[in-house]
Structures are given as C-alpha cells and as structure tokens.
Amino acid sequence: MAERLLRFLAIALSLIVACGFILFAVADIDRASDASRNRITGDPRAADPTPAGERERERRNGAVREAIDDANDVLLRPFAAVSANADSRWVRRGVPALLGLLVYGFLLGFASRYAKGRGSPLARPRYG
C-alpha cells in the first residue's frame, strides 16, 4: 500500500515539475522570438510589461497553466535558493527543476521500492 502511494507521488510530482519546466521553456523561447522580432521591427512593446500587461499575460495563459505554475512553484521552493543569484533565467529555473526531479522522482521512487521490501536487507530471504 505505501509502495503504491509513494510510486504514485513520485510519478505525479515528477510530471508536475517536468511540465512546469517545459512550459517555461516554450514560453521563454516564444518570448525570445518575440523580442528578436520586436528588436528588428522596432516595436516599442519589447520593454518590460506594465502590471496591466502582466495581468493580460496571466489571463492569456489560462487556468490550467496557472495551476501547473503554482504547483511547480510550491514543489521547487525548497530548491530555489540554490540558483537564485544566477544571471541566466534558464539556470534559475533549470537547476531547481533538476533537483526537484532528483528528489521527487528518484528518491521517492527509491523509497517506494524500499517500502515494498526490495531495498531492505532485513526483507531478503535467508538460506540455510
């Protein structure tokens, strides 16, 4: 029972972290493409958005994207300080995502195997 719960948690939390990073990567690539296009065409909207523009962007993303981003923020909060001072936006998001996948995916997966008895030396059958 505990093994199934831990395995389910490992998969679910890893999927949330992976989806959050993939959505960040797609949005950042789109943002970079728009910024490059705006730089070439001279569009004045290439600057930082106003608070109203930020709200518009959140509205445009939709409820599902916001839910994934909020869950991702909560899951990666323990790891955010590791790369908080990095200059690159990709490092600030990528390092916590990798650490989250390591902890939530690998370590919870290991804990689920351990809970089943595969990882415990006491659970091994004795011969002789």
Kindly tell me if the per-residue pLDDT of 79 is higher than 70.
Answer: yes
Distance CA 4, CA 82 (A): 31
**Tokens 């300080």, residue?**
81
Give burial (CB, 10 Å; 0-12/13-18/19+) of 49.
exposed
End-to-end CA gap in the chain: 31
Residue in the structure block whose two tokens are 């109203």 = 52
All structural domains of the chain with their residue ranges = 2-41+49-121
Other CB atoms closer than 10 Å to residue 76's CB: what's the count? 23
Residue with tokens 């599902």: 64
Give 5-27 pLDDT, tens digit per residue.
Answer: 888 999 999 999 999 999 989 98
Average pLDDT, the chain: 77
**Amino acid identity of 110?**
F
The reply to whether the predicted model has a pTM over 0.95 is: no
pLDDT digit string, tens, across residues 34-58: 666 656 654 434 333 456 654 665 6
**pLDDT tens track for 58-68:** 677 777 887 88
Nearest to 72 by CA among 48, 90, 94: 94
Token output for 125: 């059958």
